Amino acid sequence: MTPVENVYARISTIIEDHTYCKLPDEDIEFIFKNFLETAIVYFKELNNKHKPIIVENDYGELFIQKTKNIQDGDDGLDLEEEVILAHGMILSWHKSKILRDKFLKQNLNTDDFNRLSNATMLANNITLFDVLSKEFVKLRRKYRNRDWDGGDL
């Protein structure tokens, strides 16, 4: 099993959202767990192959466990799988930022929204989300083909 902290550590240095600093640890854990569950769904190759789930031990610690096609009792994630899940979590987080800005734009008039400089941020975030999505697809494609030896065309 792989501790969820392994994946969380990969994104905590990337996400610089100061609103999380104001939240209690339980709320941050809940939000990150939701991002991780979404990332597992997005990572179809891992999901179809191993059906990973998030489990809790007797001490309340969370782990990611593979439940299908496990070889030699190795039910933990490898480094590549952790990185791809972290990337999926970043996509989930970034999508929530875009949705929050779009909601704000709908509730403010155009002048107020532009004056708050959120219009430029929204456009930049949408562009960045597209770049991150393409990178995520590349990582997933690389993962899918990592065991292919060039045969069986």
- Over residues 103-131, the pLDDT tens digits come to 877 777 767 666 666 667 778 888 889 99
Mean local confidence (pLDDT), 99-103? 82
pTM comes to 0.79
CA distance 3 to 55: 10
The Cα 91–Cα 17 span in angstroms is 14
Over pLDDT 70: what percentage of the chain?
Answer: 82
Higher pLDDT, 26 or 19: 26
For residue 31, pLDDT over 90 is answered with: no
Chain centroid offset of residue 109 CA: 32
Closest CA to 93 of 6, 1, 3, 20: 20
